[in-house]
Structure formats: C-alpha cells, structure tokens
Amino acid sequence: MILEMGGNMRRLEVDFAAQLAAVRPDLSAGYAAALPGARAAVLGRLWRSLLYEPLPGLAKVRGGEILLVDGRRLTGRARLPHDLGGEPALWLDGRPHTHPAELLSTLSLPGTARLVDDLDNSVASLALSRAGAAAHPHATTTPEDHEQSVVDGHPYHPGCRNRPSVSVAEQLAYMPEHRPVVSLDLVALPAAECLVAGPWPLMDGDRLLLPVHPWQTRHVLPALGLRPHIVGALQARPLMSVRTLAPLDGGPHVKTAFATRMTSDVRDISPGSVRDCVPLSHLLTTLAARQGGRPQIARYLAGAAAKVNGEYSADLSAMLREPGAGNAIPVAAVTRAMVRDPAGWLTAFAHLALADTLGLLALGAALEAHGQNLLVALDGDGSPSRLVYRDLADVRISPARLARNGVELPPISDRLHTDDPEVLHAKLFGSLIGTTFGSLISLFGQGDRAAESRLWGVVAAAARNVFDELPGTPDVRADRDALFGAHITVKAHLLAQLEGAPPGDSWARLPNPLTTLA
C-alpha cells in the first residue's frame, strides 16, 4: 500500500505511512485519506502568511494576487486575515500547486529552506491527527475531553502541527488529539542544588522529585547522565499544549519540559520562567482581584529546575499549576455545534473578554489572550459566564502603569517588563482580536461577509461599552485609540521562522476589523 501511494506523496508523507504501517496499521487508510485535506489546511495558512506578512521576495500583494520580485505571479482566492479553512490549490504563473511545502520550495523566498521541512512535517502530522480523531471519536464531557478535541492546532500558523523529532509512535502516545494517558517519570535530584519557586510538594528526604515527560526521559536525560528514580509514577492526560498534563487522580496540572520544536518554538522551561511563575501568578491574581476576581487566574503553585554542568537547565525543569478552571474549556475548543445563537453568544463572550483584559491592561498587564490561554466557562444553556487565563510566561507587564495604580512590581524577569504602549497593544490586541475573535467570527460567519461584519460590530460595540465603564485615564484613552485604530499588530508566524530572523516574535500590521468591518 505504501508503494502504491508513494507516487502521490512527498518523502516525509511516505515515511509517516511506513511508520504507521508498523505501529498502527488500522490507521493507514485513514491517514492516506486525510492527506489531501491536511495539505489544503496548511496551504490555507501559508496563503494567509504570504498575503499579510511582510516577507522578503514579495514585490506587491493585491487581493488574491502576489507579484514576486523576480516577476512571477502567485494567485489564489482573496482571503481576509480572519478566514479559516484550507486552499485546495494556488497558482504560480498558471501552474497549480496543492502542497504547501512544494510551493514554498518553488517560490525560493529568502530564508525559507528550513520552513519547507516544517511544512512537510505539519502536513504529515496533521493528517495523522485527523486520522486518529476520525477512527476513535470521543464524547466531550470533561474539560480534558474538550482540550483533546482540538485536532488541527493553531488556526493561522502554517506550522500548526509541526513536530520534528517526534515519531509517529510518539505522537500517538503523547499528543492530546490522540487522547492518550501519559505516564510521567520522576527524577530524584539534590534539593539543595535546585532552583525552587513556591512550596515544592514532591520530595524524598533531601531529594527533590521532578516530573519528567517520557519523551524527555528517552531523548534528553541520557545525554545529561540521568535516569528516572521512578518510571511511570504519575498518570496524566495531555492538554492542548502537549507538555502540560492533568493527573488522573486530580491535583495540580504538571507542566514539563519537552525540548523539541512544536509549531515553531522549543518547548523547554527556562529557569527565568521557573523564577517568575509564583510572583507573576500573585501579581496577576492581585490585579484581577481589583476587578472582582476577573479573569480567574490559573496560578502556578511551584516550579523547579535542576542544574546541568553547574547551570540551571531549561531541559530539566517543571512547574505545577492549579487546575482552577472548573468546567472552563479553551476558546479554541468552542465549536459551531455548541452555539445556538452566535450573535448572542459572541455578545456575552465579547463583554467578558474585553472587560477582563482591557481592565487588566489599564492596571498594567497585557495578556496573550489567544484560544489556548483563554478559557471560557459555560452556564447551563451554553452561554459564556466567566473566563480563566493560564500560561503566564508570555504576558507583558508595565511597571509605569503598575506604579500609577499603586501596585508594586514583583521580582520578575526584565524580559516581561515594558512601558511601550505599542508592545502592550500588540501583545493583547494581536492575540485577542487577531486570533481569538478572528477565529470565532470566521467559525460563526462561515464566509458570509455580511454576517461576519455584523459579528465584528458586536465586538466593537462591546469594546466601546467596556471603555465607557473604565476610568478615563490617559492610559485607557491611549488603549481605546489603539484598539480602534486603522490597523492592529499581530504575530507574523512565517516571518519569525525565516533563517536569520531575530529571536522572539515578529509582527505584521493588518487592517483593523473593528473599524473596517464593524
């Protein structure tokens, strides 16, 4: 079967098929059937990046046509930044291209050589994810079920399922959409030599017991000269982020190091994040308390990192986070079938999300409020009732705003500090408007531009109402002007992964749907 399919498959797709035939042959047919849809899904994300990110090698972008600097023309369907859905084909000088990696290779844009491999991996892994989900559908009755129901990953990132260095067998065993139970190991380390934040509960005398993901045990610990003290000590279900897991017997969620690239970043845990986790949790909880405990903050309770060669290691670290979410589910897990009245649902959600996040911004904290970090609790009729925010390492804190609100800056890393309003606005508005509201409105509007415009109008009206309720300080006025400006700044996912790109996030400016579509 693999040889029969090989003529229509790229090398990595054939490799995945061979691995799958060895470990789960029952999924082979489903994987082959899922490949065209996975190619189209990633091609759609790539097309969005080509249309809206300031990429080198592109001379002019207009509607559904891109003129390259070498004179070639790439054409496809016109696409708004918030649109979901795939693209079955794009045309380069009239020739159709259906595979995103093959297209990117042919375009030969500067700095994209590694990205070709990433897109290959994203397609193959996405097909595997869809095949597994189709073969074993599950009811979504618990928050963990909803976490694991998100099959396609990031709605706009071309590397939505990019997982290099993770084999097919390992994806089936560890990735949340395959709904596994993962057995975490415990490594025993001299407590006196560890960096610890908060009260660490896992101890064996004077040794600290650090939870380690089994992938990390297999691929990273041997090079560090370590092995588990207890193998398979903690049974847990992986949540959306893969390396954060919910123990079957309850208790704190465990965030582990998983030191390989997934989507686009290496998923280790820096010593700085360990140091920050408890004071940052306290700060955000304190700020939320000023607005009635909104949003609820899923606090980190403790963190630990061990030394490797005399330095605290991002490869040997973990954090414990309070579950705290109750029945809240990630916004990314909301489906059209869950919502009877999209306009009514969005009205309630928009007021909650904007009141909570704009209120915290006025106090001095800009959240990265995308669909994985922002959770929504639903009442009995499915309406949004409260929000939960988690995964705190990507927030930005304004010391000046804190001071103006009488809040002391805790001892947190300098990288989290900024008083630059453009940075604060990009962090919050890029994630909340660009990703969270954009994906919800595309989901609810289903390509009906009139319906989508009405839904953007709902969000804009909620924002105006929230600003009217906030104090009329210079900071709030600046936030209002930025939110209703001509453009919003969002993460440029492809640009950030180019060879030679500066570390950290890259950005793109998009037409602001709150002013152009509302």
- Secondary structure string (H, E, C) spanning 141-203: CCHHHHHHCCCCCCCCCCCCCCCCCCCHHHHHHHCHHHCCCEEEEEEEEEHHHCEEECCCCCE
Binning pLDDT at 50, 70 and 90, where does residue 6 land?
very low
Residue 477 CB contacts under 8 Å (≥ 6 apart), including other chains:
none
Q: Is residue 518 predicted with pLDDT exceeding 80? A: no
Q: Is residue 3 predicted with pLDDT exceeding 50? A: no
The three-state DSSP-derived secondary structure of 383-419 is CEEEEEECCCCCCEECHHHHHHCCCCCCCCCHHHECC
Give the C-alpha separation, 473 to 359, whole Å. 12
Q: Are strands 65-68 and 73-75 parallel, antiparallel or unpaired?
A: antiparallel
Q: Is residue 4 predicted with pLDDT exceeding 80? A: no
pLDDT in tens, 149-176: 999 999 999 999 999 999 999 999 999 9
Q: Is 16 helix (H, G, I), strand (E, B) or coil?
A: helix
Least-confidence region, from 61-70, 180-189, 259-268: 259-268
Q: Which part of the chain has CATH 1.10.510.40?
A: 329-516
Please report the pLDDT score of residue 167 as a whole number. 97
Find out whether 373 and 331 touch, Cβ atoms under 8 Å: no
Q: Is residue 263 predicted with pLDDT exceeding 90? A: no
Give the C-alpha separation, 396 to 424, whole Å. 7
Find out whether 376 and 370 touch, Cβ atoms under 8 Å: no
- Written as one string, the DSSP assignment of 243-302 is SEEEETT-S-EEEE-EEEEETTEEE---HHHHHHHHHHHHHHHHHHHTTTS-SEE--EEE
Q: Is residue 5 predicted with pLDDT exceeding 70? A: no
pLDDT cut 70: percent of the chain above it: 98
pLDDT in tens, 322-337: 986 678 999 999 999 9
pLDDT in tens, 285-316: 999 999 999 999 999 999 999 999 999 999 99
Q: Span 140-144, mean pLDDT? A: 88
Whole-number average pLDDT of the chain: 95
pLDDT in tens, 26-38: 999 999 999 999 9
* Best CA proximity match to 515, nearest among 483, 490, 471, 468: 483
Please report the pLDDT score of residue 517 as a whole number. 84
Please report the pLDDT score of residue 2 as a whole number. 40
Fold designation for 329-516: Transferase(Phosphotransferase); domain 1 (1.10.510)
Q: Is residue 135 predicted with pLDDT exceeding 90? A: no
Find out whether 440 and 376 touch, Cβ atoms under 8 Å: no
Residue 90 CB contacts under 8 Å (≥ 6 apart), including other chains:
43, 47, 74, 75, 76, 96, 97, 103
Please report the pLDDT score of residue 325 as a whole number. 66
